[in-house]
Amino acid sequence: MTNVEFGCRPTIIGSMPHTDPRDACSLVTRYLKDIPTWPQLPYKTFLENMYVQFSEGFPGVVIEGLDKTASGVNEHIFVDRSRDHAAELERLYSAYLENRPAEYAMSKTYASGLYQFLSLDANVPMAVKGHVTGPVSWGLTVTDQNRKSIIYDDTLADATAKLLRMKAAWQEDELRRVSRNTIIFVDEPYMSSYGSAFFSVSREKVVALIQEVMGGISGLKGIHCCGNTDWSLLLGIGLDVVNFDAYGYAQSLSIYPQDVNRFLANSGTIAWGIIPTFQDALAKESVASLKDRLEESMAPFTRHGIPFRQLVAQGLLTPSCGLATLKTPEAAERALELLVDVSDTMRRRYAS
């Protein structure tokens, strides 16, 4: 799937506020007929939290608080470095080197939405989208038993990227049962802190970790960051799709016009996160207001020589972040309605 023009078709980031995977998948298949996405359900169980969901098999990982009858123990994930996990690391590296990603498959307990999605008997879509938590965000969020982020341990940071690479590769193989055309997003919300005092990971390490995960993806490779970041870094590491919050941070990408121009010239796709994922903002918007906001977000690029119709042709539309932040299934459905209607409006007006 190369040199594809999506023409502002809709898709989503992944998370949804449902607790029943059948209900979530029903909405996905109803609204996202061209590019459906399997739903991540963090309110169903802590195991579907984006940082826990991809943790199965990580050396030394501990998940606490799942037993609701235990008092005083909050849900928490960490890596226990006090014990020897050399054998687990050896197993992980062996599977990686011998390209056996199925050994680190996501189980139904951790990904009920994925398994429900794969069981559906639906028409073959244009493409199917999956997602995996990025190594930078995972490595900064998951700590050891002393609350130190594991990304600062070179061995564990490397193991993180290799585990997530295998999760992405296995998932992509499974999604090809739905469509031979796949898009896998690497979700990196913590990249919005890149360059700040709270982010002391080098540029070289960030690039190496993300590219390691991307190496396991043979279809289209995307990245999602729902805040401001150094887009020149992400636009230059060989991605096919860059997804940003165009609703709240429209200017964040427009200050990199030369990087965007090169990215589009190399057949890249910009996924415009134009649908708000907070209820107050969502309640005040309409198809017309969001279409206007999207056009305003695209306009600065035209002043740097990028044709407006090229932005539309090489565009996807998404919510600004995961739909789980909307809290209720009703709000998520409203967001999907707006997403599809804005897409249809843009396509009717600008598609050649």
The pLDDT of 330-348, averaged and rounded, is: 97
Q: What whole-number distance in Å separates Cα of residue 152 and Cα of residue 18?
A: 35
pLDDT at 258: 93
Per-residue confidence at 70, pLDDT binned at 50, 70, 90? low
With a cut of 80, say whether residue 245 has pLDDT above it. yes
Q: What whole-number distance in Å separates Cα of residue 28 and Cα of residue 308?
A: 29
pLDDT at 153: 95
The pLDDT of 226-251, averaged and rounded, is: 94
pLDDT tens string 175-205 = 999 999 999 999 999 998 887 767 888 999 9
With a cut of 90, say whether residue 25 has pLDDT above it. yes
Average pLDDT over the chain, rounded to whole? 94
pLDDT at 2: 60
Architecture per CATH, 9-54+107-350: Alpha-Beta Barrel (3.20)
What is the full DSSP assignment across 321-344? S-GGGG-SHHHHHHHHHHHHHHHH
Per-residue confidence at 352, pLDDT binned at 50, 70, 90? low
pLDDT at 49: 96
With a cut of 70, say whether residue 71 has pLDDT above it. no
Q: Is 300 exposed, middle or buried (0-12, 13-18, 19+ CB in 10 A)?
A: middle
Those residues whose C-beta lies under 8 Å from the C-beta of residue 143, and which sit 6 or more positions away, are: 78, 79, 149, 150
With a cut of 90, say whether residue 18 has pLDDT above it. yes
H or E segment to which residue 61 belongs: strand 61-64
Provide the 3-class DSSP secondary structure of residue 239: coil
With a cut of 60, say whether residue 26 has pLDDT above it. yes
Write out the two tokens for 239: 């991605």
pLDDT tens string 290-313 = 999 999 999 999 998 999 999 999
- Per-residue three-class SS string for 92-145: HHHHHHCCCHHHHCCCCCCCHHHHHHHHCCCCCCCCEEEEEECHHHHHHHCEEC
Of 270-274, 287-291, 305-309, least confident by mean pLDDT is 305-309
Kindly give the pairing relationship between strand 76-79 and strand 61-64: antiparallel
With a cut of 80, say whether residue 69 has pLDDT above it. no
pLDDT tens string 116-165 = 999 987 678 999 999 999 999 999 999 999 999 999 999 999 999 999 99
**CA-based nearest residue to 176, from 168, 186, 187, 164:** 168
Per-residue confidence at 271, pLDDT binned at 50, 70, 90? very high
pLDDT at 262: 95
pLDDT at 156: 97
Those residues whose C-beta lies under 8 Å from the C-beta of residue 250, and which sit 6 or more positions away, are: 293, 296, 297
With a cut of 70, say whether residue 57 has pLDDT above it. yes
The pLDDT of 272-278, averaged and rounded, is: 97
Residue type for position 143: T
| Exposure b/e, 125-147, CB count within 10 A at least 16 = b | bebbbbbbbbbbbbbbbbbbeee
pLDDT at 130: 98
Spatial contact of 245 and 187, defined as CB atoms under 8 Å apart: no
What does DSSP assign to residue 40?
B
Report the share of the chain in percent with pLDDT over 70: 97
Report the share of the chain in percent with pLDDT over 90: 88
Model pTM? 0.94
Q: What whole-number distance in Å separates Cα of residue 14 and Cα of residue 28?
A: 10
